[in-house]
Amino acid sequence: MRHRLVGTVAFAVAALPALAQDFAGQTLVVGTWGGDIERLLRTHVAEPLEAETGARVEFLLGGSSDRMAKLYAERDNPTMDVTFQNIYEAPQLLADGLVVAPDPESPAFKAIWEGMNEGCYAMSLVGLGIAYNKQLFPEPPEWADLWKPDYHGRIAMAPYPSSESDGFLAVAARLAGADEHDPDAAFSKLAELGPPALTYTSLDEIFALMDAGEVAAAPMISGYVLSSLADWENIGFVFPTDPGPVLVRDMVCQVANSPNPELARMFIERAVGVETQTAYAEELMFGPTNSSVTLSGEAATGTINTPEEVATLVQLDWPWLIEQRPEWTERWNREILGQ
């Protein structure tokens, strides 16, 4: 009996590496944001992948612009295999040949709503809406309400460049009767708000000031904001309707000429898979891009998760915006910050 047990254990131990032998000893390097995103990716993607393949997954944490700079600096000899980027970065990376174009035949591509995979695979859908102080705005505001004289100089903004600020410029242009292709209209309308009350880089900072009424409102991206609002009774978040919220996407990219292309593809398949996408929606209020995900309750109402909802969102001409970036950064420095 005891003999049999020892034999079974020995067999199991011997079989373990056999199952995972294909990728044992390899390390997949994934660049992403820290905090909740890393936690969810570790639980739902990295750990199952490690168990399945025997490879190790290493996360490189930081902001997406740091990763972008790293990709360009390492372009001849990349060390990252997978990188998470913003929608305004992905098409540029593809244009410079630093990421692998999304493969229309791959299961990941097919799982995602049509038209979403620009440059890389679409990972999550969030919208640019308005976070506001509920005492200053008894009713959820529309975009145009931010331009009322009472709030002059009291609107906080994200730094430029960012999805938030490109989106806010596009909204300003629409309020002025144009769109993002008319930068003069966008910048002069936005400058009417006065200098930003704060250039926000952290949620705690802006929410503390918004809670106290020092900041009246700010254009912010759903997702994190929605999942943090529980701690701030005095702060609300709304998706305005005129124009609708601006659609923003996080993208997951396979780095070109990376050391572990096959593992990278497997990671991406899991990242856009139903399990991870559902966890993203339920825990972070990030809308799924995978069309097979069905949500219920709070996650269903808080996230953008149906094609109909996507249709009401403002979609920006990102490739065009990316080309304007150097010039718009200068204009932002001068005309918005330098007021």
The footprint of another protein (CB under 8 A) covers 65-66, 68-69, 72, 75, 92, 95-96, 159, 161, 195-196, 198-199, 201, 205, 208-209, 212, 214, 323, 325-326, 329-330, 333-334, 337-338
* Cα–Cα dist 280/271, whole Å: 10
Least distance (Å) between residue 100 CB and another protein: 17
- Tell the smallest beta-carbon distance from residue 207 to another protein (Å): 12
Decide the pairing of beta strands 82-86 and 287-288.
unpaired
CA 263 to chain centre: 22
Q: Which is nearer to another protein, 199 or 312 (CB)?
A: 199
Q: For another protein, which is the closer residue by CB, 22 or 330?
A: 330
Among residues 86 and 254, whose Cβ is nearest to another protein?
86
CB of 278 to another protein, least distance (A): 33
In the complex, minimum distance from the CB of residue 240 to another protein, in angstroms, rounded to a whole number: 25
Q: Which is nearer to another protein, 137 or 160 (CB)?
A: 160
Q: How far is the CB of 183 from another protein (least distance, A)?
A: 16
Closer to another protein by CB, 68 or 281: give it: 68
Question: Which residue, 36 or 214, has its beta carbon nearer to another protein?
Answer: 214
- Dihedral sign computed on CA atoms, order 53, 79, 248, 211: positive
For 120, the token pair is 């890389």
Pick 11 or 72: Cβ nearer another protein? 72
Residue 117 CB, nearest approach to another protein (Å): 20
Cα separation of 320 and 177, whole Å?
19
Place of tokens 């144009």: 178
